[in-house]
Structure 1
């Protein structure tokens, strides 16, 4: 899975962004579990998931600041 694009994140509603963050956190948990048990093949996905979460949270904060 490729990193999420900023344009796609900006096009999301607040609820969609929250759902995306929740799904990414679940995925990150599963990836960490796989790494701990030696089953993780794509180690770069952990980093991508972490950065996608940060990207979504940053854009959400920008959108909230713009609304004020």
Structure 2
């Protein structure tokens, strides 16, 4: 993803999600891989980049029907 994309810092975004039943995914700014679960991955499994404010974080689509 490109620099300047809407993103969130790792620590502030993660703390705001505690207790949330919503699932958030992120895409690595360094290698563009993803999505990865915010709750499970602070670092990109592909390139080991730590999630930063340039990494794009999105709410996962609901699977409820």
Query: TM-score, normalised to structure 1's length?
Result: 0.29
Q: Which has the higher helix share?
A: 1
Compute the TM-score of the two structures, normalised by the length of structure 2.
0.30
